[in-house]
Structure 1
Amino acid sequence: MINTFIGDLGHFSVILAFVAAIVSALAYFMASFRQPLGQDRLDWKLLGRGAFIVHVVAVFGIIFSLFEIIYSHRYEYHYAWSHSSNHLPTHYMISCFWEGQEGSFLLWIFWHTLLGLMLIKFNRKWEAPAMAVFAFVQLFLTSMILGVVIGDLKIGSSPFILMRDFMPDAPVFKLDPNFIPKDGTGLNPLLQNYWMVIHPPTLFLGFAAALVPFAFAIAGLWKGEYKEWLKPAFPWTLFAAMIMGVGIIMGAYWAYETLNFGGYWNWDPVENAVYIPWLTLIAAAHTMVIYKRSKSALRTTYLLVIVSFLLVLYATFLTRSGILGNASVHSFTDLGLSGQLFTYMAAFVVLAAGLMIYRWKSIPATQKELTTYSAELWVFIGAAVLCLGAFQVLVTTSIPVYNSFMGFIGLKTNAALPADQIGHYTKFQLWVGVGIAVLSGFAQVLWYRKTDKESISNALSIPLILTFLFSALVLLSGKMGWIPATDVTKEWIYVVLLVTSLFAVFSNLSMMLALIQKKVTLSGGAIAHIGMAMILLGILYSSGYSKVVSENMSGLLYSREFPDEMNRDNVLLWRNQPLEMNGYKVTYKGQFLEVKDFPDYVNKQVLFQTHDPYKALARTDLKIDGKVVHKTGDTVEIYPENTYYQVEYQQKNGKTFTLWPRAQVNPEMGLLASPDVKVFADRDLYTHVSSIPKPDEERTWSEVKEHLIGIKDTIFINDYVAVLYGLEKTNAVQGIDLNLTAGDVAVQADMKIFGEDKEYHIHPVFVIKDKLVGRIPDEVDDLGVRITFNNIDPVQNKFSFGVETTQKDYIIMKAMEKPFISIMWIGVFVMTGGFCLAIYRRYVEGKTPEDGMRNSKPQKRKAMVA
C-alpha cells in the first residue's frame, strides 16, 4: 500500500489555509465595517488576526509537505514525478518546487503570508481594512491549489494528487494500483541553472509586494482616508518596484547565460507581462512624489497603484491560462484553471473599479497651474512616458487575448503577433528610453533648484557641457575604431539615446554630489536615475553594436537545412584543428562531462560510461593539484545531460583563455545549448554551440577494414598511425561484468593512436566465454575511429583487428562580442542602491507627521524623484 500521510497532510493544510483565509477576510471586514480608521471592533479584529496566523501556519504545512514529496522522491505523487528525478542536486530540487503552476502559486502565497505578518506588526492603524484585502487575495490564491472537484466544477489543481488518480486509465495502474515509478521525468534542462533558484522567488516577492500599496489604496477609498494611505504605501511601492526590477534583471541574466539567442531580452510575451506592471509601479512612485510636494496627482496615483496590481493579476492570467499557446516559450500549459484565473482577475477589477467610481468625486483634486519651469509638470510627464511605454507593450502582447475573446463570442479574427517582435517593440521603446533619460535629468535638476530661468540654466550648464564633450568623444572613438562600435551615424536614434543617457548621468550626478553634502538619503532618487541611465547605455551598446565574430569565411554551406543566418554567422571547428577567427585563433578541444564532487570538467574520453547513464568508470586517475581524487577503475557519478565543449581562444598578444559552452540533445526539445561568456573590461565574448554531431546511435560508420598485424606493427588509419604494443589477459572490462569461469579467457590489446597533437590509448577486448567468441570494441571520439579485436592467429603469432571510421568530432559554433554590457549590470546595482536609500528615507518620513517636514517653509521643502 502507498503511504499517503504526507500528501494527506499537505491537502489538509491547503483546505485549512483556504478556510482560514475566508474567516480572516470576513473577520477583518467586519472589524472595519462602518468604523473610523483605527477604531476597529476588537473582537472581530482579533478573530481576523488569529485566522490569518492559522492561515500562515497552514501555508508552512503545505510547503513542508510538498518539498518533502520532492526531496524524498515520492514518485507516487504526480508533482514529484513530473518535475523531479533521482539525480537532481538539492538546489535544483528547490527549483522543482516552483517549476509547476501549483508550486509557483504556493510561492506567491508564501510571500503574502510574510508581508501580511509585517503589516499586522507595523501598521496596526491600517490593519483591519488592509488585511481584509490581503486575506481576500489569499482566499483566491489558495483556491488555485485547492484541487476540489464538484461535479463538472474544478476548483484549483492540487500538488498532492497521486499518479494513479491523475492518470487512472494508464494500463500500469489497472494492473497494479500501488505502482510507483522508479524515477521522475526530471526538471526542464533550461531551468537547471542557479539563477532559476533565486530568480522566481525574487520576482514573486515583487508580485506579492505590489499587493501592499494596492491594499492601502483600497483601504483609503473604503475608509474615506484619501490622503493618509500614501504614507505607509510609499515605501512599499518603492520596495515592490525595486524587487520586481531586480527579478526582471535576474531573469534577463538567466537568459543571457542559459539561452542561445544571443541576448538577455527577447520581448517574449511572458517577459512583457512582468515588464508592464514594473513600469506602472515606477510611474506610481513618481506621482506619489508629486503629491507629497504639491498635493496634486492624487487621483492619478490611485489609478496607477491599482492598475499595477491588476496588471500583475493580468500577467498571471496570461502566463497560466494557456492563452498564449505557442506565442511564448515561458508560459505554462492550461491546467483547466483559465476560468478560475479570469474570475480572480475580474473580481478585483470590479472591486477596484467600482470603489474608484463610487469615491472619485470625493478624492481631493487641486487646480494648481503647472508652468513650464514647474518640476511637478516634468515629473508627471515622465510618469506619462512610462505609462505609454507600458501601454504599447500591453496592446501587442494582448493580441492572443483579443483573438480568444472574439472566438468566445463567435467571431473569428486574424490578428497575429508581429513577425519581427524585437523590431516592433524596440522602435517604440527606444523613444521611451530617450524620454526617460531626458526627463530624469531635467526634472531632477528642476526639483531641487529655484524655478526661474536663470537658476535652471546655471544648474544645467555643466551637465550639458559634459554631455556634449563625452558624446563627441564617444562618437569619434567609434568612428576611428578605438572602441567596439559601428558607425553611429547610420543609426541616428542610437546617437539620440547616447546623448540623452549621458545627460541623465551627468545631471543626476551633479545633483547627487550636492545632496550628499546635505543628507545622504536625499540622493536616493538621483542615484537610482544614474543607474537607470547606465542601464540604457549598456542596452544601447550591447544590443545596438553587438558584433558577430564567428563569420563563416570558408565559403562552405554547412547544411541546406540550416537557415542562412546560421550558415553565415557560425564557424565549423574540427577537434584539435585551430581556426583563425576575427583576431582570435580558436581550437575546439573536445567534450567534457561534469563529475559529482569533482571541481573540474573531465574529458569524456577518459570516462567509460556504463549501462547506468549517471555512472562511469575512470580510465585514468582523476587529479586535482597533483592529488588523486578518483583512481583508475573507480566508479564516479556524472551528469550526462550536461556535456561541455572546450573551446580555447588565443588572442593576438598570445594570451589564451578557455570557454565551456554547454549543449545537450533532448529527445523532446532538440539541441539545447547554453553559452559561456568571457568578460573583458570593454566587452563580453559570448560563445555558444549551434550544432553538434549526431548522437552515437545515429552515427554512420565506414565498412570494416581488416588488419592482420603483430606486436609493434602499425596500422595506417586515414592520417593517423596506430601501433600495437602488446596484449594482456584481463578478468574485467570497464563497465562490463564478464563473469569469467574456468576455461574462459579475455585478452585486451594495448594500442596507441598518434593524433595531430595528442596520443590516444585504446583497448579493444577479445573474449572466449562458454566456448563462444565475443568482441568488445573501443573508440576514440576525437579521431572518429573504432577498433575491434577480431581474432588471434597462434600459428603466425598475428592478431586481426577491424577498423571503422566515422566523421571526426566537430562543433558548429557562434561567437559574438557585446560591447560595454558590463555598464548595464553595474547600472542595476547602482539603481538598486538608489532605491534602498529612497525606501529608507520614505520609511523614516512615514513615521513622522507631515512627512517629517512640519517646520520647513513650503518653498524650501526638499523632495526627491524616487
Structure 2
Amino acid sequence: MIHTTVGQLGHFFVILSFVTALVATVAYFLSALGRRSSRQNVLVEEPQLAYAGESSFGGKTAKRKDRAVTPVSEQQSQKDDWRTLARWAFYIHGLAVVGVAVSLYWIIYNHYFEYHYAWSHSSLALPVQYVISCFWEGQEGSFLLWLFWNAMLGAILIRTSGKQWEAPMMAIFALVQAFLASMILGVVFGDTFKLGSSPFLLLTEAMPDAPIFTADPTFVPKDGNGLNPLLQNYWMVIHPPTLFLGFALTLVPFAYCIAGLWRNQPLEWIRPALPWTLIGAMILGIGIMMGGYWAYETLNFGGYWNWDPVENAIYVPWLVMVGALHTMLIAKRSSTGLKTAVILTIAQFLLIIYSTFLARSGILGNASVHSFTDLGLSGQLLVYLLAFVVLAVFLAARKWKYIPSDEQEASVYTKEFWLFIGATVLCLAAFQVIATTSIPVYNKILEAFGKVSNLALPVDQPGHYSKFQIWFFVVIALLTGIGQFMWWRKVENKKWDALITPGILTLLISAAVIGSGAIKNPVYMALLVASVFALVTNGTILLGIVRGNYRLSGGAIAHIGMALMLIGILFSSGYSRVISLNGSGLMISNSEDFTKNGNKENKENVLLWLNQPERMDQYQVTYRGQRVQVRDVPGYVPRQDVAVIEGDFHGVALRDIEQNGKLYHKKGDTLAMYPENVHYAVEYREPSGKVFTLYPRIQVNQRMGVVLSPDSRHSMDRDIYTYIATAPDPMEESKWEKTETYSVAVKDTFFLNDYVAILDDVVRTNEVEGTQLGPNDAAVRARVRILSKNGEQVLSPAFIIKDRMVGRRAETSDELGIRIQLNEIDPRSGKFTFAVNRTQRDYVVMKAFEKPLINILWIGTLIVVLGFLIATIRRYREFTKMRDKVVV
C-alpha cells in the first residue's frame, strides 16, 4: 500500500509555510513603514529620522526631521492593522512548519519506504532515538529543523520585543523564513528550474527511470538504506537540534541590528539584542562542543576536533558572534565599538549562511566528512547569501552617517580599548580559519572565469590551523585578564599595580608546572602562562564580585571556563600519548595504511590474540572476544551466546542470557538486536590490580562499509582512548581448512597447529548440550588437553548413539583456532579417531592513547555555559525593565 495522503498533506504545509512567510514579510514591512491598510484611504509616509537617541560619545545629537501627513493616532491604527495581519500570517506559518515536521516524522517513524527520504535515511532496525536522528540526516530535514527553531523564536519575539521593534525586526525574520521554506519547496518550473528539494518525494518521482518501477509502478521497498552508522550515537539525537537552535539565534541580533539601522536608531537596538546574543553564543558554543564530544566518542582520528572544513565553518561565526558581544558592551560609550558591533552582528549571521553554503552546496567535495552532496540547491543558497549581503551592506552604508564619531581616541587605560582589542583578535582568529577553509570556493570562482587554480587545502590541516590559533588564544587569554581588571576599574590613574599580585601568582604556578617537566614546548609554555593568567585574574575578580552582587559575575565565570578549556586542550591534544606501542618486533600489516609515514601504524598498534595477555605501557591488556547488544539487556552479551539472524535484526539465545544475576532471556528465546554493531571486549589490568573493560566498536554497514568507533575510560586526570584498527570481518563465517584426522589412544600425545595435544580420557556422559538422551541411548565425551604458551585448554568433543543413530558434537576454540570432533571409536585397538579443522585465530589490532586532563576541557565548557547563562539573565532583566518604561 502506498501512503500518499500524508506526503500530500506535508507538501501542502510546505507551500503554506512559504506563502505565509511572504505575507508576513510584506505586512510587517508595511507596518514598519507606517503605510495605510487596505480598509483606509489615507496614505501615511514614514518620517525621515536622523539619529534620535541619547549620545554617549560626546558628540551632538542630530535633530528629528518630521514630514508627517497624517495624525499620529491614524498612523498608529494603520500600523496596527498591518501588524495584526503580519502576526496572524507568522503564527499560521509556524503552525504550517510544525505540520511539515509532523508529516515528515510520521513518514519516517511508520517506515513508509515508498518515500525517498524515509528510504534513504531510515530502516526497520533503528531504535526510536535513531529514528529521530533520521529526521535531520538529510538536507531537507535539517533545513526544516532550522525553519522550526526560527518559527519558535519568532513567536517568542512577537510577544516580548515590544511594539517599537516588532515590525522592522519581524520583517527580517519572516524574509529569512521565506528563503528557508523555499529550500524544501520542491516546485519545478519547466524542464530545468527547480525551487527547493521536497522531502515528500515518492521513490517513483525521485527515481523515475529505475527499472524496478518500469516493471512494477507500485513497488515499495521492504526496508530502507538505514542511518549513517556514524550518526547512530546519542549525541546525534541532541547535537543537531542544539546546533540549529544556535543557527536560529544568530538571526535575532542580526534582525535587531537591521531594524535599528532601518529606524535610524543605530544604538538603541543593542539593549534588546544583547541578551539574545549572549544566549545565542552560549547555545551555538554548546552545539559545537557537543559535536566535538560526538567526534571523540564516534570517530577514530584520536580527538574531538580535526579542523574539518565544516567544523571550521561553524567555529568562525561563533568567534565573530563572541566578538560582536564584546563590542556591544562598549557601544554606548564608544562610536568605534558601536560601528564594530554593527559590522560583526551582520557578519555573524552572514557567516552562518556562508557555512550552510559550504556544507550543502557540494563545493567541499571530499574535503570534509560532514559535507552534503549537492541537491541542486547551491544556486538557491548563493542567492540566499547574496540577498542578505546586499541588504545588510546597502542599509549599513546608507545609515552609517547616523552614527556619531568619538571626539577623543580611546585611551589604553579604558575598558573600551581592551574590549575592542579583544574583539579584534577574535576576528583575526576567525579570518585565518575562514580564509584557508574557503580555498575550494576560490578555485570554483577562478574556474567560472576559465582559470585553473593550483590552490589546495593544507595536507596537515590540524597542524596548519593550530600553529596560528594557539597564538591568537594566547593573546585572547591575556586580554581576558587585563580586560576584566579594566572593566572593574582595578587599574586606575595609569597605574598597573593591581596586576602585580596576579602576575606573580601566574609565574609561580606556571613555573611549578613547567619545572615538573610536564611541558617542554615553548609555544605550549606560552599558552599555559596565558591560560593561568586568565584563570588567576578572573578568579580574583570573581571573588570580589561574589561578595557584592553575584548577578554581575557572568563575565568572570565565562572567562574562567575559557581558561580551563585552554588548559584542557593544551594537555589533552598537545600531550596525547600513544600507549599501544608494538614491542614485539613483528610487522602487523603490510597494507598501505599501516606502512605509510615510515611504518608509523605498525609501531603504534598492538596485536592481541583472544585471551592472550600482553603488556602495554603500564597495563596488562587482554582481548576477551566479541560482544553484541540485545535491546532489552544492559551492557554487552558474548557473541557466541546469540545466533544472529542475518537481515532480520533478531537473534536466538543459544544459552540463558543473564546480567548481574538477573535472567533476561532463556535459551531458545528470540531476541531483538542492535544490528551492524560488534563490540570487542578489551580488558585492562592496572598495576594496582584494578580491572576495567573497554568495548570499542566495529560497524559493518552497506552504505559506509566498515566503520570504526572508539571507547574510552574516563578518570579525573586522564582518559584511556581505545579503538580497533583492524580485525577479522565480523560478518564473515570462519573459513576452516581441510580436515585432518588423528588416531590416538588414551594418554597419547599429538600435535595440532603449534600446540601439543594430549588425550587424557574418554568417559561416558549422560548430558550432551543440545541433545536429549533416552534410557537406550549412549554418549561418551573425550577430554583433549591442549597446551600452549599461555597455559592449557580442554576441549571435550562428544560421540553419541541415539535411536541407533550415530551423532557427533564438535568442540571449537576461537582462542586456538581449532575445531575437533570425535569421529570413530575402535574398541579392538583402543584407538580414537579425531577430525580436526584449523582456522585463523580470533584477534584484534588495537590502538590506544592516553589523554591527560581532558576532563578539564569538559568542565571548562560547563563553566563557560554557566557564565553565559548568568550574564543572559542579567541583561534580559535590564532590557525588560527598560521596555516596560517605554510608552508606545
The CA distance in 1 between the partners of 2:187 and 2:778, in whole Å, is: 65
- The verdict on how the C-alpha distance between 1:514 and 1:623 changes in structure 2, with shifts beyond 3 A counting, is same
The aligned counterpart of 1:644 is 679
The aligned counterpart of 1:121 is 159
**Paired amino acid for 2:222:** K
- Structure 2 residue 563 is matched with structure 1 residue 533: yes
Deviations 1:746-791 (A, max 9, x none): 999967776757867787999999x999999774433322346778
3-state secondary structure, aligned to 1:297: helix
The CA distance in 1 between the partners of 2:374 and 2:474, in whole Å, is: 39
| CA positional deviation for 1:641 | 1.3
3-state secondary structure, aligned to 1:334: coil
The aligned counterpart of 2:443 is 403
The aligned counterpart of 1:855 is none
| CA positional deviation for 1:802 | 3.1
- The verdict on how the C-alpha distance between 1:347 and 1:747 changes in structure 2, with shifts beyond 3 A counting, is farther
**Paired amino acid for 1:812:** V
The CA distance in 2 between the partners of 1:476 and 1:354, in whole Å, is: 56
The CA distance in 1 between the partners of 2:560 and 2:638, in whole Å, is: 46
Say which of 843, 847, 856 aligns to 1:823: 856
- The verdict on how the C-alpha distance between 1:786 and 1:180 changes in structure 2, with shifts beyond 3 A counting, is farther
The aligned counterpart of 1:547 is 577
The CA distance in 2 between the partners of 1:784 and 1:686, in whole Å, is: 29
| CA positional deviation for 1:555 | 1.3
**Paired amino acid for 2:627:** F
- The verdict on how the C-alpha distance between 1:374 and 1:470 changes in structure 2, with shifts beyond 3 A counting, is same
| CA positional deviation for 1:30 | 1.1
The aligned counterpart of 2:57 is none
Unaligned runs of 5+ in 1: 480-484, 735-745, 853-866
**Paired amino acid for 2:96:** A
- The verdict on how the C-alpha distance between 1:507 and 1:67 changes in structure 2, with shifts beyond 3 A counting, is same
Deviations 1:202-239 (A, max 9, x none): 11000000000000111111111211111110000111
- The verdict on how the C-alpha distance between 1:307 and 1:772 changes in structure 2, with shifts beyond 3 A counting, is farther
- Structure 2 residue 212 is matched with structure 1 residue 179: no
| CA positional deviation for 1:44 | 1.1
| CA positional deviation for 1:453 | 5.0
- Structure 2 residue 628 is matched with structure 1 residue 593: yes
Between stretches 465-474 and 385-394, larger displacement belongs to 465-474
Work out whether residues 714 and 720 of structure 2, in 8 Å CA contact, stay in contact via their aligned partners in 1: yes
The aligned counterpart of 1:689 is 724
**Paired amino acid for 2:239:** H
3-state secondary structure, aligned to 1:87: coil
The CA distance in 2 between the partners of 1:193 and 1:680, in whole Å, is: 22
| CA positional deviation for 1:611 | 4.4
Percent of aligned pairs sharing the same letter? 54
Unaligned runs of 5+ in 2: 35-45, 50-74
The aligned counterpart of 2:877 is 844
Work out whether residues 587 and 648 of structure 1, in 8 Å CA contact, stay in contact via their aligned partners in 2: yes
**Paired amino acid for 2:449:** I
**Paired amino acid for 1:438:** L
The CA distance in 2 between the partners of 1:514 and 1:851, in whole Å, is: 32
- Structure 2 residue 780 is matched with structure 1 residue 782: no
Work out whether residues 730 and 747 of structure 1, in 8 Å CA contact, stay in contact via their aligned partners in 2: no
Work out whether residues 750 and 761 of structure 1, in 8 Å CA contact, stay in contact via their aligned partners in 2: no
The CA distance in 1 between the partners of 2:577 and 2:714, in whole Å, is: 15
The CA distance in 2 between the partners of 1:116 and 1:358, in whole Å, is: 27
The CA distance in 1 between the partners of 2:225 and 2:25, in whole Å, is: 40
TM-score between the two structures when normalised by the length of structure 2: 0.88
**Paired amino acid for 2:575:** Y
Work out whether residues 418 and 479 of structure 2, in 8 Å CA contact, stay in contact via their aligned partners in 1: yes
Say which of 430, 444, 468 aligns to 1:390: 430
Work out whether residues 712 and 725 of structure 1, in 8 Å CA contact, stay in contact via their aligned partners in 2: no
| CA positional deviation for 1:552 | 1.0
Say which of 694, 697, 706 aligns to 1:662: 697
The CA distance in 2 between the partners of 1:168 and 1:221, in whole Å, is: 50
- Structure 2 residue 532 is matched with structure 1 residue 502: yes
The aligned counterpart of 1:606 is 641
3-state secondary structure, aligned to 2:553: helix
| CA positional deviation for 1:155 | 0.9
- Structure 2 residue 303 is matched with structure 1 residue 263: yes
Say which of 459, 468, 476 aligns to 1:428: 468
**Paired amino acid for 1:513:** L
Say which of 143, 148, 164 aligns to 1:105: 143
User: 1:507-518 residue pairs with structure 2 within 5 A?
Assistant: 507-518=537-548
- Structure 2 residue 27 is matched with structure 1 residue 27: yes
The CA distance in 2 between the partners of 1:404 and 1:768, in whole Å, is: 76
- Structure 2 residue 418 is matched with structure 1 residue 418: no
Say which of 441, 449, 456 aligns to 2:496: 456
Work out whether residues 762 and 779 of structure 1, in 8 Å CA contact, stay in contact via their aligned partners in 2: no
- Structure 2 residue 114 is matched with structure 1 residue 84: no
The CA distance in 1 between the partners of 2:750 and 2:326, in whole Å, is: 78
TM-score between the two structures when normalised by the length of structure 1: 0.90
The CA distance in 2 between the partners of 1:725 and 1:528, in whole Å, is: 74
- The verdict on how the C-alpha distance between 1:48 and 1:777 changes in structure 2, with shifts beyond 3 A counting, is farther
| CA positional deviation for 1:122 | 0.4
The aligned counterpart of 1:216 is 256
Work out whether residues 114 and 202 of structure 2, in 8 Å CA contact, stay in contact via their aligned partners in 1: yes
3-state secondary structure, aligned to 1:419: coil
The aligned counterpart of 1:298 is 338
| CA positional deviation for 1:456 | 3.2
3-state secondary structure, aligned to 1:41: helix
The aligned counterpart of 2:173 is 134
3-state secondary structure, aligned to 2:851: strand
Deviations 1:258-302 (A, max 9, x none): 111111000000000000000000000000011134454111111
Work out whether residues 811 and 821 of structure 2, in 8 Å CA contact, stay in contact via their aligned partners in 1: yes
**Paired amino acid for 2:564:** M
- The verdict on how the C-alpha distance between 1:810 and 1:122 changes in structure 2, with shifts beyond 3 A counting, is same
RMSD: 3.0
User: 1:735-754 residue pairs with structure 2 within 5 A?
Assistant: none
The aligned counterpart of 1:6 is 6
User: 1:650-729 residue pairs with structure 2 within 5 A?
Assistant: 650-695=685-730, 697=732, 700-707=735-742, 717-718=752-753, 719=755, 721=757
Work out whether residues 799 and 806 of structure 2, in 8 Å CA contact, stay in contact via their aligned partners in 1: no
- Structure 2 residue 660 is matched with structure 1 residue 629: no
Work out whether residues 267 and 331 of structure 2, in 8 Å CA contact, stay in contact via their aligned partners in 1: no
Deviations 1:486-520 (A, max 9, x none): xx33x201101100100000000111111112211
The CA distance in 2 between the partners of 1:109 and 1:749, in whole Å, is: 71
Between stretches 561-570 and 195-204, larger displacement belongs to 561-570
Work out whether residues 710 and 724 of structure 1, in 8 Å CA contact, stay in contact via their aligned partners in 2: no
- The verdict on how the C-alpha distance between 1:764 and 1:497 changes in structure 2, with shifts beyond 3 A counting, is farther
Between stretches 383-392 and 786-795, larger displacement belongs to 786-795
The CA distance in 2 between the partners of 1:692 and 1:574, in whole Å, is: 10
- The verdict on how the C-alpha distance between 1:710 and 1:103 changes in structure 2, with shifts beyond 3 A counting, is farther
The aligned counterpart of 1:740 is none
The CA distance in 2 between the partners of 1:344 and 1:766, in whole Å, is: 77
The CA distance in 1 between the partners of 2:649 and 2:780, in whole Å, is: 28
- The verdict on how the C-alpha distance between 1:789 and 1:30 changes in structure 2, with shifts beyond 3 A counting, is farther
The aligned counterpart of 2:353 is 313
The aligned counterpart of 2:243 is 203
- The verdict on how the C-alpha distance between 1:536 and 1:838 changes in structure 2, with shifts beyond 3 A counting, is same
Work out whether residues 449 and 455 of structure 1, in 8 Å CA contact, stay in contact via their aligned partners in 2: no
- The verdict on how the C-alpha distance between 1:94 and 1:834 changes in structure 2, with shifts beyond 3 A counting, is same
The aligned counterpart of 1:471 is 510
Deviations 1:507-549 (A, max 9, x none): 0011111111221111110110010111111101111111111
User: 1:762-781 residue pairs with structure 2 within 5 A?
Assistant: 779-781=812-814
Paired residue total: 831
3-state secondary structure, aligned to 1:250: helix
The CA distance in 2 between the partners of 1:185 and 1:456, in whole Å, is: 65
The aligned counterpart of 1:856 is none
Deviations 1:667-702 (A, max 9, x none): 553432211111222111111111112456475533
Work out whether residues 206 and 247 of structure 1, in 8 Å CA contact, stay in contact via their aligned partners in 2: yes
**Paired amino acid for 1:66:** L
